[in-house]
Amino acid sequence: MTDQPNTPQLYLIAPVGAAASTVGPLLAEVMDRFPVACLRIPGVGTEEELGRLADIAREIAHARDVAVVIDDHIELAKRHGLDGVHLTDGARGVRYARKELGPDAIVGVYSGSSRHDGMNAAEAGADYVSFGPCRSTALGHSQIAELDLFQWWSEVIEVPVVAEGALTPALIGQLAPACDFIALGLEIWSANDPVEALELLWR
């Protein structure tokens, strides 16, 4: 898929709650094998744990020209030299994040399956909007972001769009023409061999 023109870029979500010492080698291996455009750190854990993970992730990612964002933790992003934040509470924090992090920072927003929330985020100045999950999950708490949402967004809105959550090879194939980024995380880290799992998803 990545050999074709006008295809989405890979947006990697780090494993949730993993120790920094464990995550480092995994991230390095994945980034050495695949053309990752952005790495996102989930905002789960103590500030100390997240700080250690941020430092390791930044060092590995920046050495490979990969941007790093973290869920919601604006101060931590500033303190540890990250490239920006991924806001999980919609558009309400976009302007504050921009003020705190500066005009060059990445400010992304998760908008679930809501076209309205995504438009609000775009209007507030988000650099990208993500929608998901893209199919039913075991948790079953989120409304599915359907293919037509991504298709509409790509035709009408200029702000880049990210697809994330419960992705499969078939879904990625369907979503690819309408997305700027495909976000993969749990889909690979839950496998015995994350690199092999990503190979199957990103071939």
Q: pLDDT over 70 for what percent of the chain?
A: 95
- pLDDT, residue 112, reads 95
Tokens representing residue 35 in the block: 């053309």
- pLDDT, residue 6, reads 56
User: Rounded mean pLDDT of 42-64?
Assistant: 95
Residue type at position 168: T
Nearest to 101 by CA among 63, 70, 65: 70
Q: Confirm if 51 and 81 have CB atoms less than 8 A apart.
A: no
Nearest to 41 by CA among 69, 61, 64, 63: 69
Residues 6+ apart with CB under 8 A from 62: 68
User: Rounded mean pLDDT of 90-94?
Assistant: 92
Identify the structural domains of the chain with CATH numbers, from first to last. Answer: 9-201 (3.20.20.70)
**Confidence class of residue 17 from pLDDT cuts 50, 70 and 90?**
confident
Q: Is the pLDDT of residue 138 over 80?
A: no
Query: Mind giving me the DSSP string for 72-141?
Result: S-HHHHHHTT-SEEEESSGGGGHHHHHHHH-TTSEEEEE-TT-HHHHHHHHHHT-SEEEE--SS--SS--
User: Rounded mean pLDDT of 2-20?
Assistant: 80
Q: Is the pLDDT of residue 40 over 60?
A: yes
**Confidence class of residue 141 from pLDDT cuts 50, 70 and 90?**
low
Most confidently modeled of 2-11, 123-132, 194-203? 123-132
- pLDDT, residue 3, reads 44
Strand partners, 163: 131, 182
Q: Is the pTM of this model over 0.85?
A: yes
Q: Dump pLDDT digits (tens) for 144-182.
A: 999 999 999 999 999 999 999 999 999 999 999 999 999
